[in-house]
Structure 1
Amino acid sequence: MSHPTPAIVPQSAVRPLPRWALVLLCLAYAIAGFVGRAPWRNSDMASFGYMRELALGHTAWMHPLLAGMPPDGDELLPLWLGAWAIQLLDGWVAAELAARTPFMALLLITLVATWYGVYYLARSPGAQPVAFAFGGEAQPADYARALADAGLLALIACLGLAQLSHETTSHLTQLASTSLLFFAGAAMPRRMAWSVACAAAGLFGLVLSGAPMLATLLGLGCTWLVWSSTRSTEARLRTTATTVLAALTLAAAVLALQLDLWRWRIASMDYAREWQGLLRLFIWFSWPAWPLALWTLWRWRRQITSREYHRHLLLPLCFVLVTVGATLTTQPADRSLLLGLPALATLAAFALPTLRRSIAALIDWFTLLFFSASAIAIWVIWLAVQTGVPAKPAANVARLAPGYEPGFSALAFGVALTATAAWCALVYWRAARNRAVIWKSLVLPASGATLGWLLLMTLWLPLLNYGRSLEPQVAGVAAAITDKQGCVAGYSLTRAQIAALAYHGQLRVATVSQQHLCDWAVVDADLGPALDTLLPAAQWRLVARVKRPTDRNDVLLVLRRAGNRP
């Protein structure tokens, strides 16, 4: 039985968002956080370390190593992209910025693929609004463009997208690959050539980024939905599209098998103890898309349960369910949930044609208050760090980041001031006019998220680099080591610490088999009593204890072989 669509949209409500504004918003969001930022500790620093080793020719491309250690995961594609960029831009920009260049492109690809994915889903017959008796309903192309604008705004507004989409790790390549596959499932068979190319890039990108199971599940889901939800008048194209998708999915699975990338990654979790943390993650990470997505599932419930397989609802729902399943069974959970944001934003977009005016007004007021208060707090703390007034925020920063010396950047200040002025102008525009366009409720959330990210990555960036980078601690280690020509033995060090010692400290960290040749050692203080066994006091003497400024418990010990003198 065919159920009527709940979308009632006049032509006046589907005016497109000005292209220049949308492009500027995407560029501001994508560039901020990549330019000027030091590699942050943990996965961001570790990935950069492997990229640099590959670019310098110190390790094999198929089996990258850092001080003899393989990566934590099976990702190859992100390491290759970063290494190629370092080689290509050598001498033009710093290695850390060069490594981020392809990841800026990957984030932009994610945004573009999401826009086009929503566009083609909105062009499907089941997604069209109700036809008016005397005409005046939204035209299909205009309706699809307006919903695509809304879907892109919903994605940018998601709070969990900001940091993880600006790290040079496999999670961003997985996100871009998932978005390309999502577009392919939405556009087939209407745009066969582009869809096949994007499906291939998405499936193989997921495999080479360490997610072969997700590639297989999402590929099979797209294949089934393209076969089930395509109209009978397109039977020939439907058969071709599903055959190609099935073949590409099989090829991706075979590639993962050939490269030995299949791994059992199901993590045992105590859900009785961790459900509260997972619930908080779901609530804040995908805000504000998830409430709108739930509204979509309620208002379009008859289309979801009908026998006509409406792809504009089932395709994003399939992607969301697969990524939520991965979130509940793998660690870290937020990295898995990141891959579901484009599909969740798509479901959020389809809520707008059915949204009540009171709910839209509530979203606007909440967004206005939340992001305005956040921006004011960021500015106040920056002023306190620069001038000492107000005194309490300045004292808190001095306590949390001892030794930090603030500096003033005219460029960063100008960008932050321009972004804040643009936010004020947008708020005035939104409050002064009762716009009927369906994407209006997501303009403030997306712009507010971009404003907050821009302010953090300009005004607070030096402070964040000081607190989240390993560079200050490594500088102390490098200063204690007087002979930098030889090797350094590392004990109980993470991959990020080894990468930071090699890049920031210009030290050569030895592999396990070479550690006995080194006259210097850098040891994590948490090694405890085992330190005396590995490095007996009769043979080694302590030279320095170097703390990370923002964490007193993170201490590195610098030791020298007792038979050597400074």
Structure 2
Amino acid sequence: MATTSPALVTREAARPLPRLALLLLCAAYVIPGVFGRDPWKNADLAAFGQMLALAEGRASWMDPALGGVSTGSALLPHWLGAGFIALTSPWLAPALAARIPFALLLALTLVALWYASYHLARTDKAQPVAFAFGGEPDAVDYARAMADASLLALMATLGLLQLGHETTPELAQLAAVAGLQWALAAAPFRPRGSRAAMLASLTALAACGAPAMALAMGLLAALVCWKSSYPQVRPLAWWALVGSVLAVGAAVLLHAWSWRVMPDLALPQARQFGRLLLWFLWPVWPLALWTLWRWRGHFGHRHLSVPLATAAVALLASAGMGGSDRALMLGLPGLAVLAAFALPTLRRHASAAVDWFSVIFFSLVALFVWLMYVAMQTGVPAKPAANVARLAPGYVVQFSWLALLAAGAGTLAWLWLVRWRTGRHRSALWKSLVLPASGVALTWLLLMTLWLPLLDYARSYGPHVRQMARHIRPGECLAAPGLPWALTAALEFHGRWRVDRSAGAGGAVARADAACAVLLVSASRQAVPPAPAGWVEQVRLRRPTDSEELTLLYRRAVQ
């Protein structure tokens, strides 16, 4: 029995977002944070430290390590960052060089998502209802508007904001998932490109540290292709199976298998996972649920089955890993497509509620960022300035004309957009996601310009390492058994010391490398361990912006 499309779209509503505006919005989302900052704790710094160790020859390219200890991390993403560091040295700073390929991966994710949505919206079952007297949109125009909407939905998602701007393997995994989704979506229109993308995406996903997800997505992709109503798509099922085999082979060859699924999900963890879903997937989760309800008779059609396949695997993996936000991030491309298909069925009052919430929320956020910036620069208002001094002791205020101009331009663009959106421009299909996506981009731009020096001081280990440099001579060897990976990377990057993390814990501390005259132990303020035998405590250091985290510095006792 044929199922009627719930989408009601006029030709006027299917006009695309102006290309220049869309490109500028994407640039405002991708570029801020690439320049002018250190790697931040924890995962960002740990991954960068491994890339730097590979590029400088302090670790084997087949076994990334920090402090002389293997991390067991995925190889492909670290090769990518290390390769850029080696190729651009000495012209670019290592942190910037490592960040560039991952910014390109984020841009690639956006491009792959746009084209995947475009191809899915072109299919017959995704088309809106044809009106009796005409006026429905052309299929290509409708597909472009839907692709714009899905791109806006992804940029509006809160969970992608920080994780999408890190130099971590998960960002490479996200690009691979977006590539796989494009391969499935474009299969009826680009069969050769889809085959190549299918093989490359599944193999890359496994090589980037997610082999189990690659295998699950590959098998689901084969099922989606096999059940397709397009005859030219069904043979792609075999390519999906071959891609799954290649993914398994890549995982075995690169030692990428790592079982991280928890045996059970306790009630407190389930509640925490529920809270994670609520904020991490905002605003795509209510739109995606609305899509599943309004298009409930279309689950077997490509515009729902393709994004559902990728999103479902990521959601289940995140739940199985105890509520992992990084696994959940891999479901965002699929959820963004589902969110876009809610827009042709969304009622006007719901669209207006999204608009007004976005206007009020992001305007207040922008006002708060500007208020704190003025307080930091001038000392007025006094209370916010005092709060900054209390929370970040030792921070020296910095001023940049370039940052101020960029933030001012972004704020003016936001004010113009709010005026435009609240005017008589209500017909565009993507209108309900313009303000959420632009508000997220504005927030990120303001944080990465006006607040960047403060955030860099608070999130970097640089100030902490500079404290240690007062007590450690240049070139000294540091024994650091059990030290956090991020702090180990910071010692090697900021301090340029040789770090030996190979010593065990407890009594094995005393047997640390005899060449190391300094021992570092990480502790909390409430649980300070006694000095190991043969070592004398020199000083206790804490990060300026963290009153709980301590680093204990010992020197060998003189015999």
Per the shorter chain, which TM-score range? over 0.9
Give the distance between the partners of 1:257 and 1:91, measured in 2 at CA: 35
Aligned match of 2:383? 392
Q: Using the alignment, how far apart are the partners of 2:207 and 2:298 within structure 1?
A: 36
Q: CA deviation at 1:487?
A: 1.4
In structure 1, C-alpha distance between the alignment counterparts of 2:96 and 2:44, rounded to whole Å = 13
Q: Cα distance 1:466–1:332, how it changes in 2: closer, same or farther (>3 A)?
A: farther
Distance (whole Å) between structure 1 residues aligned to residue 481 and residue 551 of structure 2: 10
Question: Quick one: distance in 2 between partners of 1:331 and 1:13?
Answer: 42
Q: Unaligned stretches of 5+ in structure 2? A: 504-511
User: Residue 483 of structure 2 contacts residue 501 of structure 2 at CA under 8 Å; is this kept in 1?
Assistant: no
1:234-383 map, 5 Å: 235=231, 237-304=232-299, 309-331=300-322, 333-383=324-374
Normalising by structure 1, report the TM-score: 0.94
Which residue of 2 is the match for residue 19 of structure 1? Answer: 19
In the alignment, structure 1 residue 69 sits paired with structure 2 residue 69? yes
Could you tell which deviates more after superposition, 334-343 or 261-270? 261-270
SS at match of 1:88: helix
Counterpart residue type for residue 37 of structure 2: R
SS at match of 1:517: coil
Query: 2:550 matched to which residue of 1?
Result: 555
Number of aligned residue pairs: 550
Pairs within 5 Å for 1:106-117: 106-117=105-116
- Give CA-to-partner distance per residue, 1:506-542, whole Å, 9 cap, x none: 1111253662221122222449675433xx2xx4333
Deviates more, 1:103-112 or 1:392-401: 392-401
Measured in 2, the distance between the counterparts of 1:400 and 1:518 equals 34
Secondary structure in structure 1 of the residue aligned to 2:70: coil
Asked if 1:521 corresponds to 2:512, the answer is no
Q: C-alpha distance in 1, partners of 2:251/2:482?
A: 32
SS at match of 1:9: coil
The answer to whether the 8 A contact 2:209-2:256 is kept is yes
- Tell me if 1:213 matches 2:200: no
Amino acid in the other structure paired with 2:48: F
State how far apart, in whole Å, the 1-side matches of 2:372 and 2:289 are.
Answer: 37
- What corresponds to 1:79 in structure 2? 78
CA contact (8 A) 1:170 1:210 kept: yes
Structure 2 distance, partners of 1:323, 1:145, is 26
Match in the other structure for 1:229: 228
Residue ranges of structure 1 left out of the alignment (5+ in a row): none
**AA at the equivalent of 2:518:** W
Counterpart Cα distance in 2 of 1:372 and 1:338: 26
Counterpart check, 1:478 vs 2:469: yes
Q: Distance in 1 between matches of 2:445 and 2:529?
A: 45
* Paired position in structure 1 for 2:89: 90
Q: Which moved more, 1:263-272 or 1:159-168?
A: 263-272
What CA distance in whole angstroms lies between the structure 1 residues aligned with 2:355 and 2:476?
A: 60
SS of 2:235's equivalent in the other structure is helix
Distance across 2 between alignment mates of 1:185 and 1:461: 39
SS at match of 1:322: helix
Q: TM-score, normalised by structure 2?
A: 0.95
Report the 3-state secondary structure (helix = DSSP H, G, I; strand = E; otherwise coil) of the residue aligned with 2:69: coil
Write the letter of the residue equivalent to 2:114. Answer: W
Distance verdict in 2 for CA 1:423–1:529, change over 3 Å: closer
Aligned counterparts, 1:86-235, within 5 A: 86-231=85-230, 235=231
SS class of match (2:176): helix
Per-residue CA deviations over 1:33-82 (Å, capped at 9, x if unaligned) read 222121111111111111001001121111122122222x5411111011
Contact 1:150 1:439 in 2 (8 A): yes
Contact kept? 2:481, 2:501, Cα under 8 Å: no
Cα displacement string for residues 231-261 of structure 1 (whole angstroms, at most 9, x for unaligned residues):
3xxx3x2343222222122221222233332
Instruction: List aligned pairs for 1:361-440, cutoff 5 A.
Output: 361-440=352-431
